[in-house]
Amino acid sequence: TELFAVERYPTVLQMVSTVQARTRRPLSEIFRAMFPCASITGAPKVRTMEIIRELEPQPRGVYTGAIGFISPGGTAQFNVAIRTALVDRERGTAVYGVGSGIVWDSDAAAEYEECQVKAQVLAAKRPSFQLLESLLWQPGEGYFLLEGHLRRLADSAIYFDIPLDGAAARQALARFALSLAEPCKIRLLVSLAGEMEIEAVPLAQGARRQPLRVALADTAVSSENVWMYHKTTRREWHNAARAAYPDCDEVILWNERGELTEATTANVVLDMDGELVTPPVSSGLLAGTFRNHLLANGRIRERILTKADLSRARQIFLINSVRRWQTAVLV
């Protein structure tokens, strides 16, 4: 009744299918026909079952079996027990099963990596952090690119399973604006529980003389680091890069492939032979709201940029929705 639905968990995305049927066959025959499921044996099923019997030293127990119930009315609901912890309180032990279904064209390294990802839940602690949006507020104009900020905030809330009330966020910002009189940088923070905080800093307070002095980071960031794609208070990679160059206004980051990503508080735009280009999100960066605005209006376009492009560029710009365009020079 439902095929390939995706459920989100802290460390994995799980694809789930639901199958419903009516039958008069006894339960023992149903179990005999259904289990073990091909999704947990691999394929071709008969041969993989033989290999499992040869290689695995003991029965799997409930792991890859089924957990469910039979109701008095005769209906039943069962699942395939994957990534299931079996706890023996008397012995003080726990066994956690994890694996991957092997088929004829499986890659051993990729399958092993999949198992490691699935087991991350045992060791990975969900860090404490807040979602963050930095907005420009100006008298007579209100919040710059408000819809883009709220949309990005909502997307991150969905990704991290944070209960965000988008309407409440909009209302809170509107109420907060009633107390403002001068241009400000507004910080909207949302906790893991969906609680909101709003802070304001006068725009003039953080103004810096242009062109900004920028350096290239000493070490690469990972394009697979999920935190690079969301605006949160987890900024240890950005902070470390900035700390290495205290005399510079900004530091430009790059990934494991030598591709430019972003600055620590802004997106990067280079003037390459008269064309304004910015790195694609796939390089490992935050899709800034001002960046999105400029792309949508054809002012800039995406292109993979390398560290060498910094020296070849006619001009370096750093952009964000609070400061908009800022010129920069590499030092």
* Residue span of the structural domain in which 155 resides: 131-205
Cβ(64)–Cβ(40) below 8 Å? yes
Rounded average pLDDT over 46-60: 87
The pLDDT of residue 38: 67
pTM, full prediction: 0.76
Does residue 190 sit in the same domain as residue 213? no
The pLDDT of residue 138: 97
> In the 3-class helix/strand/coil scheme, how is the chain assigned residue by residue?
CEEEEEEECCCCEEEEEECCCCCCCCHHHHHHHHCCCHHHHCCCHHHHHHHHHHHCCCCCCCCCCEEEEECCCCCEEEEECCCCEEEECCCCEEEECCCCCCCCCCCHHHHHHHHHHHHHHHCCCCCCCCEEEEEEEECCCEECCHHHHHHHHHHHHHHCCCCCCHHHHHHHHHHHHCCCCCCEEEEEEECCCCCEEEEEEEHHHHCCCCCEEEEECCCCECCCCHHHHCCECCCHHHHHHHHCCCCCCEEEEEECCCEEEEECCCEEEEEECCEEEECCHHHCCCCCHHHHHHHHCCCCEECCCEHHHHHHCCEEEEEECCCEEEEEEEC
Euclidean distance between CA atoms 308 and 317, whole angstroms = 16
Rounded average pLDDT over 93-108: 87
Does residue 242 sit in the same domain as residue 323? yes
pLDDT more than 90, % of the chain: 65
Structural domain ending residue among the three candidates 184, 205, 226: 205
Euclidean distance between CA atoms 96 and 88, whole angstroms = 12
The pLDDT of residue 165: 96
pLDDT tens string 271-319: 999 999 999 999 999 999 999 999 999 999 999 999 999 999 999 999 9
Does residue 246 sit in the same domain as residue 160? no
Alpha carbon 58 to chain centroid distance?
38
Our count of domains for the chain comes to 3
Q: What is the dihedral of CA 193, 194, 196, 201, to 10 degrees?
A: 90
CB atoms within 10 A of CB 87: 10
For residue 52, pLDDT over 70 is answered with yes
Does residue 64 sit in the same domain as residue 137? no
Does residue 97 sit in the same domain as residue 148? no
For residue 35, pLDDT over 80 is answered with no
Cβ(143)–Cβ(186) below 8 Å? yes
Does residue 31 sit in the same domain as residue 66? yes
Euclidean distance between CA atoms 290 and 322, whole angstroms = 9
For residue 121, pLDDT over 90 is answered with no
Q: Does residue 207 or residue 257 have the better pLDDT?
A: 257
The pLDDT of residue 189: 98
The enclosing domain of 186 has a CATH number of 3.30.470.10
- Antiparallel, parallel or unpaired: β 250-254 and 212-216: parallel
The enclosing domain of 323 has a CATH number of 3.20.10.10
The pLDDT of residue 30: 83
